[in-house]
A and B are shown apart, each in its own frame.
Chain A
Amino acid sequence: MTTLHNMGVAELAHALQTKQVSAVEVATAFLARTGGNPHNTFLDIDSEVTLAQAQASDARIAAGTAGPLEGVPIAHKDVFVTRDFATTAGSKILSGYRSPFDATVVQKLSSAGMVSLGKVNCDEFAMGSANENSAYGAVTNPWDTTHVPGGSSGGSAAAVAARLAPAATGTDTGGSIRQPASFCGITGIKPTYGRASRYGMIAYASSLDQAGPMARSAEDCALLLSAMCGADLDRDSTSLDMPAENFSAKLGDSLAGLRIGIPKEFFGDGLAADVRTAIDAALKVLEAQGAKLVPITLPRTELAIPVYYIIAPAEASSNLSRFDGVKFGHRASAYTDLVSMYKKTRAEGFGEEVKRRIMTGAYVLSHGYYDAYYLQAQKIRRMIADDFQRAFAECDVIAGPVAPTVAWKLGNNASDPLADYLADIFTLPASLAGLPGMSMPVGFGEGRLPVGMQLIGNYLQEARLLNVAHQYQLNTDFHNAKPEGV
């Protein structure tokens, strides 16, 4: 048998169900790897809680009542509230916060039998593209610790890449699952908006936020996504009223005749040569399996940057008004009256990028600017969504890079937040439209840093995306590559 920490979700689930290994043994093996907190990935670990969950899993396996993912460990991004671990969303303002309940996604994965390894680092309130905006320090990329892991689900991606966990939850508002998955050489999928419940997911931009799994392969992501999704009609007003789906059902389908749309705007001058080379080679692999490449256009790709960075901060400025030092979290120690308490609490509790987005959001929503910025952005958002529908008339899935470059050096964009915004160009359009998108590892660029390919599908076509990625992974080995020393 492969070393436990080198096994993926499907393999572990099988080994557990066939009693080749116990859930306690698996949990113990992964907990041992988190000692010393490699790459600054974990924000909260509690081996007692994890081992108690593993013991309960072993009892269910023995009793024949095991769930589909019984005993398989998972780490949760710190924006999911959890009863048994602290939840901070990477922010000082929630330091030590203990939620009275588990997020629906966490609860669904527990019901499927998964054992929680703890909470992983992320950009503060999921606002960032490099995991450098966490109040608890940056996460480093396991492939090269002088580089960023991507963000905002950087802790999730690094944990899976470094084999500290076989899987992690992530959230994607503008690319926060796909881009760190790409930078860390793992597989991640953001489903259609509304598929996974947002209940208990600390809100950044409510019309964009969506949860999804991050793991090593498409096969593993399909298992996890099937367990995560499903209607949550009483608790999430935007949850889609659809039955649960088995996202593994189409994994084995042939790619013969599949039309892959290639948006020319994703292959322009801004795309680094090393990334382009890896993407082109991956497209050749898919063509060899019978897929056909179709040139398409997404003419408003560049506009997605200002549109997203108006809409997301506008929603954030409203969502983050709840952090006022009254009901939970940090409160300033010195103040004169209620308003001064709010202002000082928020000044002390929020980091610089979060403050900047709150300010930008408050500005574009303020009297005299609402129509020119916020409403105009919402109109262009619809044009972007319509562009995708035109494109999907000609193709079944869309493929391109996740990001214009491989992971950049830590601190590279520290004084230039705009550089991070611009690097989100290829993930933002699908987010604005609410479409499912994923990243799969397709090779290496400069400095042997991973390159991810993005696949975008039409609404509810997650199974199709996972099928394409799985067929690619059956014919390549990049998803099994691991950083040196792991």
Chain B
Amino acid sequence: MSLTPQDISRIANLARLELQPEEQARMLSKINDFFGIVEQIRAVDTTGVVPMAHPVDAMPGSHIELRLRPDVASEPNQRDLNQRSAPAVERGLFLVPKVIE
């Protein structure tokens, strides 16, 4: 199976990446090279195999639990520190382009 230029445009949009035309062409060829080695996985018989999302799931005698911590504020307020690397901030708020007209 090969991807098409349309696939690349569609995924680039989903991934929120603006690709230049020559970048798109290179992306298409490299990703298709990669899918050349991926095809072998489709031939593997995985009937009845439970997907493994997580290594803890494979440890004998272990099982993954979604651990939740108590719902209490545990982090100090560090707004200034948290915002010191932000590209645009005003009065403690992150600025973005207008979303609603």
Which residues of chain A have a CB within 8 Å of any CB of chain B?
A: 96-98, 100, 192-194, 207-208, 233-234, 237-238, 240, 302-303, 305-307, 309-310, 317, 321, 324-331, 335-344, 346-347, 350, 352, 355-356, 358-360, 362-363, 366, 372-373, 375-383, 385-386, 389, 417-418, 421-422, 432-435, 459
Contact = CB atoms under 8 A, between A and B. Distances in A.
B81 interface: yes
A359 B8 contact: yes
Contact of A382 (B16, B58, B64, B82): B58
Secondary structure dominating the interface of B: loop
Contacts of B14: 362, 366
A328 to B, nearest CB: 4
| Complex A-B, nearest 4 residue pairs according to Cβ-Cβ distance, in ascending order | A434-B55, A378-B51, A331-B87, A100-B81
Interface in B52-73: 52-56, 58-60, 62, 64, 66-67, 69
B57 to A, nearest CB: 8
Given A358-B15, A379-B50, A382-B50, A433 B69 contact: no
Contacts of B54: 207, 238, 434
Given A346-B16, A346-B17, A366-B14, A233 B67 contact: yes
Given A362-B14, A382-B50, 20 more contacts: A100-B84, A192-B55, A193-B56, A194-B56, A302-B40, A331-B88, A344-B18, A350-B17, A352-B23, A359-B27, A362-B11, A372-B42, A373-B41, A379-B44, A382-B51, A385-B52, A385-B55, A417-B30, A418-B33, A434-B55
A373 B38 contact: yes
Nearest to B99: A338
A434 B62 CA distance: 13
Interface of B: 3, 7-8, 11-12, 14-19, 23, 26-27, 30-31, 33-34, 37-38, 40-42, 44, 46, 49-56, 58-60, 62, 64, 66-67, 69, 74, 78, 81-88, 94, 96-99
A75 B28 CA distance: 38
Given A363-B3, A378-B51, A434-B59, A347 B18 contact: yes
24 contacts: A100-B82, A238-B64, A324-B16, A326-B94, A335-B97, A342-B16, A347-B17, A352-B26, A356-B27, A358-B15, A362-B15, A375-B51, A376-B42, A379-B52, A380-B46, A383-B44, A383-B49, A385-B52, A417-B30, A418-B33, A421-B37, A434-B59, A459-B59, A459-B62
B75 to A, nearest CB: 9
A192 B69 CA distance: 23
B38 A379 contact: no
Given A306-B37, A433-B55, A234 B82 contact: no
Contacts of A377: 41
A379 B55 contact: no
Contacts of B7: 363
A378 B86 contact: no
